[in-house]
């Protein structure tokens, strides 16, 4: 990506800034317990969580492992597990 003078960018997620590299703890979703309430989708500050065909999917390029989704999950279906890299 060529630089733009003054570091200008259009709105939206900066594709070059893959915050997934920051992650230490990985959200692991238990499909049995998950009710697909969508709280995690709303709370994720990186908009890295989506519901795709009845399943919660985390975009690991951008999930920085903050754990807000696990904290907010009403059925405790998300656990944060130390990630081996």
Partner 1 sequence: MLQIMEGSHAIAEAVRLCRPEVVSAYPITPQTHIVERLAEMVADGDLNAEYICVESEFSALSACLGASAAGSRVYSATSSQGLILMAEVVFNVAGMRQPIIMSIANRALGAPLSIWNDQQDSIALRDSGWFQLYGEDVQEMTDQHFIAYKAAERHDILLPGFVCFDGFILSHTYEPVDIPNQEDIDAYLPKYVPYNMLDAKDPISMGMYATPEYYHEFRYEIDQAMMRSAAALSEAGKEFGEIFGRDYSEHVVPYRMDDADVAFVAMGSICGTIKDAIDEMRTDGIKVGLVKIRTYRPFPEKEIAKALGGVSAVAVLEKNVSIGSAMKGAVGPEILHALNGTGIGVYSYVAGLGGRDIRKKDIRAMADLAAQGKGNMFYGLREEVL
Binding residues for partner 1, rule: CB under 8 A, are: 1, 3-11, 14, 16-17
Q: Which C-beta is closer to partner 1: that of 1 or that of 52?
A: 1
- CA 43 to chain centroid, in Å, comes to 9
In angstroms, give the least distance from the CB of 48 to partner 1.
17
In angstroms, give the least distance from the CB of 1 to partner 1.
8
In angstroms, give the least distance from the CB of 54 to partner 1.
35
CA distances to 28, 64, 66 from 19, rounded to whole Å, are 18, 5, 11
**Residue whose tokens read 């995690």:** 40
Q: Which C-beta is closer to partner 1: that of 2 or that of 82?
A: 2
Six-digit token string for 84 = 């081996």
Cα distance between residue 60 and residue 37, in whole Å: 21
């Amino acid at each position: 990506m060529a630089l733009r003078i003054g570091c200008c960018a259009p709105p939206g997620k900066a594709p070059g800034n893959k915050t997934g590299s920051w992650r230490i703890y990985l959200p692991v979703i238990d499909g049995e317990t998950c009710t697909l309430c969508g709280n995690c989708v709303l709370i994720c500050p990186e908009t890295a969580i989506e519901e795709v065909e009845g399943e919660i999917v985390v975009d690991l390029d951008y999930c920085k492992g903050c754990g807000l989704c696990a904290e907010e999950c009403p059925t405790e279906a998300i656990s944060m597990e130390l990630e081996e890299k």
